[in-house]
Structure 1
Amino acid sequence: MEFSHDDNNNLPLTKFESMLKTNHVLFFDSEEFENIIHHYLNQGKIALAKKAIKLGLDQHPTSLNLKLFKIEVYIFEDKLVEADTLLNELYLLDPTNEEIYIQKANIFSKKDDHLQAIEVLIKALDLTDDVVDIYSLIGMEYLFIDQYENALIYFMKCLEEDLNDYSALYNIIYCFEFLNQYDEAISYLNVFLDNNPYCEVAWHQLGKQYYAIKDYNKALTAFDFAIISDDTFVGAYLERGKVLEKLKRFEDAIENYTITLQLDEPTSFALLRIGNCYEKLKNNDLALQFYERTVHEDPLLDKGWIAITKFYNKKRDYQKALYYINKAINIDSENVTYWKLYSQINQRLNFYEEAERGFKKTLELGNYELNTWLSRGDLLIKLGEPEAAIYNFEQAIEFYPENPEIEYRLAGLYFRLNETDKGAFHLKNAIKQNEDYSFILEELFPEVSNKILVQKILKP
């Protein structure tokens, strides 16, 4: 049966799915089965792809391509022994089939034998008319083993063969960036643009390289050319906005970010940057308006909640700052930055128990910064919980074993509890590490600093 162009894409698939519902077996030629299987694999519908492969091989048991699809599914399901066995059978039938080599390389790659995969793919190059895909696969294998210089060679070969292979271009820049070779990336992109002056992706990447080395004027020029090449290129306007912020041209930056809102759905990033620019311009009303739009657009974007909280913090409107950070914590209670801000705000409001709770949560989430331990311990001292404070600082000293700030605090706490030997031990350690921090005793433990034994240790 002959189909029109559109039917070739749609009718066999519709017919196949109808057959599955009725259990009435219909005939398809092998190419139709290949298209159906390819469609299901692209859609990630593995179960349907397997049904099509089985029915296809029932009707066309000698089809090499259908067997290759079967191998592809085996590999996807990590049935590498079955895949390898069937591949070896196919190799005996058709040793010059490039797809056999590609799937063989895929098996080696799955086994983390990437060098062997590369060796097989290099053999496949002699058998194919479509070298671009093979070059790309070789490049990816080199990426897996962190051989970025070799990966670069093959991704560059891809681009030499196909100037529109933007995937290869992105991978080339990724390799240069990983190797911190920004100057080399810039040189490569400039040569590429000499031959492809209207490639907006290359101009965009060139701008990002200049941005990385802080040559903001050249970055701006590159993004200008990206926009000239494609005046609907949202990414170029966003990057241009970032450069203009660095140049403190905040009104121009706002204009670029605003264009992105008109070209596409509003992004939380653009809204946040506009809010930040308005804050720099001291236009607090508009800054707040855009910060609120940011958290409304994307409640999971922590930078939005942090920005609006810090905005009120700077204005010393701690109640509002606390309101917003509480909303943020309700959405994501595992965010360390939220809890640190929560603690700092509560401390400014003299809500010491809540502040201590926040620092404790911060530590539980794995943030072991010295300041977190010190802040929590000092709050416990203020709350009259010396034993809890000691436990806090004893934990802290495991992370910061020779820290005078911790030692002075432990000394003061033990002296306060009349555990003189322990107090003396920690005080001597503290003085040995840095005697200039002895003011900690006077500030946190004034009654201890006047003890005769303490004075003796401080001034032998």
Structure 2
Amino acid sequence: MPILLFGSRHLELLTGDKTTTIRKLWKKPLNIGDRLHCYWNLVSKEREKLFEAEVTGVEIIKFGEILKNEDLILDEGFEDASELEVEFRKLYPDHTQEESLFQVIKFRRLPRKEWEGRKIDEKAMITKRADILFDLGKYKDSVMCYTSALRFDPQDVYLLNRKGDNLSRLGLFQEAVQSYDDALKLDPNNEYIWNNRAIALLNYNQPEEALKSNDEACRINPDNVLALYWRGIILEILGRLEEALDRYDRVLELDPSDPEAWNARGNILSQMERTEEAIESYDRALELCLDETPDASTWNRKGNALLELGRLEEAINCYEEALKLDKDNDVFLSNLGVTYMELSRFQEAMEIFRKALAINPHNEDARILMDECLENL
């Protein structure tokens, strides 16, 4: 019973797009018609069976020839020959000479009913993988997995909603809305999916349509705090500040401990030039942050609130605490740099923006602000 082990780079296995793999030549070579049992990470605690397959072709090839075969390298999930060579030298330290023999195995995935070994719930396995990738922020890979899981059940509302969430995070808002629409055809009274649809439309610069979608969420459950919060954001973008303020107030009636709502309320009051009330809201948001056990994100949020209040030295302390916990976060560094700029400490700010750009060269805010510092030196 030949076993093939695969790492997480091979997500195309889930979609059925990957049908070849390269392995060191075994003492007993494979033959066409042999049965393969394919697993994720067999030697780890997370090992999972993927599927069973039938060998449809075997080609014996020298390692030197593999390094010259661009198509084969790409099919195996590597960007170029050097990346493949590094990985194979780790896997086969004594078997990567120019003349070392490998087998290129072609296979056909078998339907579950034809498996010889333990049958698994393929949909559940792929969904679990998708959820993990989503939580890791690997949205492109995650949406691939959710799409693959939907092949087993195209009417799974959870999968359609999560696929929409992935597409939104990839900036594919039209496709996200379509996925939410597919979910809502099956579950038209799901307030959370209506609200997710509203967020996608808002990000797609369609605030009026977003409000209509949010209307449905609030109609189904007028006390859904998340939907009410996003209603406030949509109304704020539409310039309907009094209505937005009313929605944030309603959120805080239902959950007085929501720091994001207090902060949003402060922002609205600032726009309405009700400064004293805004400061009270910002202070309340800050108090709630202080009640938490601070992690890097919390320290950053405290710094933002203090920056809003003009309490700049305190904001600097918060950003420095955040960076102790997450020293390579270019966003935290940028926030710290802005605070130094507010204090007219342009040389220090410039050095901080330079660090942020070293970490993330695509941080345009840091680049622009660094140029502004140069003009003020």
* TM norm structure 1: 0.46
Larger proportion of helix? 1
Question: Structure 1 CA distance, aligned partners of 2:270 and 2:238?
Answer: 16
Decide whether the 8 Å contact of 1:203 with 1:225 is kept in 2: yes
Distance 1:215 1:105, change over 3 A: same
What residue is the counterpart of 2:5 in the other structure? none
Percent of aligned pairs sharing the same letter = 16
RMSD between aligned residues: 3.9
Distance 1:272 1:108, change over 3 A: same
Task: For residues 317-367 of structure 1, give each alpha carbon's deviation from its aligned partner in whole angstroms, at most 9, with x where no partner exists.
Answer: xxxx3xx110112233244344433433333xxxxxx55445445545657
What residue is the counterpart of 1:63 in the other structure? none
Distance 1:269 1:138, change over 3 A: closer
Q: Larger Rg: 1 or 2?
A: 1
Q: Does 1:154 align with 2:142?
A: no
Q: Does 1:345 align with 2:342?
A: yes
Counterpart residue type for residue 171 of structure 1: R
Distance 1:138 1:297, change over 3 A: closer
Question: Structure 2 CA distance, aligned partners of 1:280 and 1:357?
Answer: 31
Q: Secondary structure at the match of 2:41?
A: helix
Which has the higher relative contact order, 1 or 2, with Cα contacts under 8 A spaced 6 or more apart?
2
Deviation at 1:240, TM superposition (A): 1.1
Q: Secondary structure at the match of 1:105?
A: strand
148-157 vs 104-113, greater mean Cα deviation: 104-113
Counterpart residue type for residue 151 of structure 1: C
Question: Structure 1 CA distance, aligned partners of 2:232 and 2:149?
Answer: 30
Task: For residues 2-41 of structure 1, give each alpha carbon's deviation from its aligned partner in whole angstroms, at most 9, with x where no partner exists.
Answer: xxxxxxxxxxxxxxxxxxxxxxxxxxxxxxxxxxxxxxxx
* TM norm structure 2: 0.55
Q: Secondary structure at the match of 2:39?
A: helix
Decide whether the 8 Å contact of 1:193 with 1:202 is kept in 2: yes
Number of residue pairs matched? 255
Distance 1:108 1:234, change over 3 A: farther
Q: Does 1:274 align with 2:265?
A: yes
What residue is the counterpart of 1:186 in the other structure? 177
Question: Structure 2 CA distance, aligned partners of 1:156 and 1:220?
Answer: 29
Question: Structure 1 CA distance, aligned partners of 2:183 and 2:140?
Answer: 25
Q: Does 1:107 align with 2:25?
A: no
Distance 1:304 1:217, change over 3 A: farther
Q: Secondary structure at the match of 1:298?
A: helix
Q: Does 1:207 align with 2:198?
A: yes
Question: Structure 2 CA distance, aligned partners of 1:158 and 1:363?
Answer: 49
247-256 vs 228-237, greater mean Cα deviation: 228-237
Larger proportion of strand? 2
Q: Does 1:327 align with 2:314?
A: yes
Deviation at 1:228, TM superposition (A): 2.2
Any gaps of 5 or more consecutive residues in structure 1? Answer: 1-100, 312-320, 348-353, 380-460
Task: For residues 220-274 of structure 1, give each alpha carbon's deviation from its aligned partner in whole angstroms, at most 9, with x where no partner exists.
Answer: 1211211222333221111111111110111211222222223235222111110
Deviation at 1:124, TM superposition (A): 8.7
Deviation at 1:159, TM superposition (A): 5.9
What residue is the counterpart of 1:375 in the other structure? 373
Question: Structure 2 CA distance, aligned partners of 1:247 and 1:193?
Answer: 26
Decide whether the 8 Å contact of 2:155 with 2:183 is kept in 1: no
Deviation at 1:153, TM superposition (A): 2.7
Decide whether the 8 Å contact of 1:200 with 1:227 is kept in 2: yes
Alignment of 1:215-294 (within 5 A): 215-294=206-285
Any gaps of 5 or more consecutive residues in structure 2? Answer: 1-36, 54-108, 291-297, 324-331, 359-365
Question: Structure 1 CA distance, aligned partners of 2:339 and 2:171?
Answer: 37
